[in-house]
Amino acid sequence: MRSGTVAVIGKANAGKSTLVNAMVGEKVAIVSPKPQTTRDRIMGILNRSDRQIVFVDTPGIYRSRNALGDLMLRTTETTSRDVDALLFVHDGHAGVREDDIALMLKYQSLGVPMLVAYNKTDIMPAERVPEDAKRLYEGGVEAAVYAVSARRRRNLGKLEDALAAMLPEGEPLFPEDVISDRSERFMIAELMREKILLGYDEEIPHGVAIVVNTFEKRENGTYAVDLDVICEKKNHKAILIGKQGSAIKETATHARVAMEKFLGAKVYLTVYVKVRADWRDKASLIKEFGYRPDDP
């Protein structure tokens, strides 16, 4: 039995969370077209009779502009040092730039075995893949490059086999029926954040945190969920709510449907929008809203 941990790292929006979900076969991490979707490390666990691969999804590498961003980058840094292997996800569609190579070299230098997943091959000309791979090798990247499409689940079997071969022999780290280290409560908050990422322009979702006040399973099997959408500014609150509450109502409906799918039961969802000025630069509020990635 091969078993171990694989940190999934790379620039923001490269498709790390999409790839982890595709490999695990279940949605363990939210996905959106906006960079900085993932804020925390999230384990997604792939179980087979001969292997257990514990993927650790991480916040994408992005220029930080606040204390939350700093924390996210630190999370990725510390996670990368403490795993059996690294899977560097590259957005092939965006091309290969000097800073991509520099980033790969930086992680390669940690001395942890590394593979590159060259992602999004479904939306680019096939002939570019070998050209780009050559540029990476000429730039000093030593890791094997796997051309994949996380969205179309292309070439993932080969990548999985290559990752498993990098892991130590040993007992599984988690029971076989576990697919994530995160609670249902966490996922509920994340699904709300995902729908906000999808529904509003960038500056709004990046300043949003979700606080779940109530997450309760009732006797009849339904769930009661009561949550706060925290934003940074008064005018953001107005945009989030929309005319006569229309915007937040629509977003909450999308979120409720996603929560019902995830929990397999009916959900009664209540949402309030609140302002906590510039919380992303206030350590105590960052912590209060659940971002404590430095904790074990």
Interaction site with ligand GTP (CB under 6 A): 12-18, 31-33, 35-38, 59-60, 119-120, 122-123, 149-151
Q: From the CB of 242, what's the least distance to ligand GTP, in Å?
A: 24
**Closest separation in Å from C-beta 57 to Mg ion:** 6
Does residue 13 touch Mg ion according to CB under 5 A?
no
38 binds Mg ion (CB under 5 A): yes
**Closest distance of CB 102 from Mg ion, Å:** 21
> For residues 229 and 181, what is the distance between their CA atoms, to the nearest angstrom?
24
Whichever of 102 and 277 has its CB closer to ligand GTP, that residue is: 102
Torsion sign over Cα 263, 191, 291, 16? positive
DSSP string, 159-175: HHHHHHHTSPBS--SS-
Quote the CA–CA distance of 10 and 213 in Å, as a whole number: 33
Residues 178, 166, 74: CA angle, nearest 5 degrees: 70
Half-sphere exposure of 154 (CA within 13 A, CB side): 14
φ and ψ of 153, to 5 deg = 55, 45
Q: How far is the CB of 15 from ligand GTP (least distance, A)?
A: 3
Nearest approach in angstroms of CB 221 to Mg ion is 31
> Considering only CA atoms, which of 188, 181, 186, 121 is closest in space to residue 153?
121
Give which of Mg ion, ligand GTP, none residue 149 binds (C-beta under 5 to 8 Å, depending on kind). ligand GTP
Nearer to ligand GTP, 62 or 172 (CB): 62
- State yes or no: residue 119 binds Mg ion (CB under 5 A): no
What are the tokens at 174? 């988690």
Q: Could you say whether residue 17 binds Mg ion (CB under 5 A)?
A: yes
> Using CB distances below 5 to 8 A depending on partner kind, what does residue 32 bind out of Mg ion, ligand GTP, none?
ligand GTP
Q: Which helix (H) or strand (E) holds 266?
A: none
Among Mg ion, ligand GTP, none, what does residue 18 contact (CB within 5–8 Å per kind)? ligand GTP
Q: And the tokens for 242?
A: 């929309």
Q: Is 58 in the site for Mg ion (CB under 5 A)?
A: no
Q: Is the Cβ of residue 117 or residue 141 nearer to ligand GTP in the bound state?
A: 117
Q: Which of 135, 83, 143 is nearest to 109 (CA)?
A: 143
CB closer to ligand GTP out of 73 and 265: 73
Contacting positions for Mg ion (CB under 5 A):
16-17, 37-38
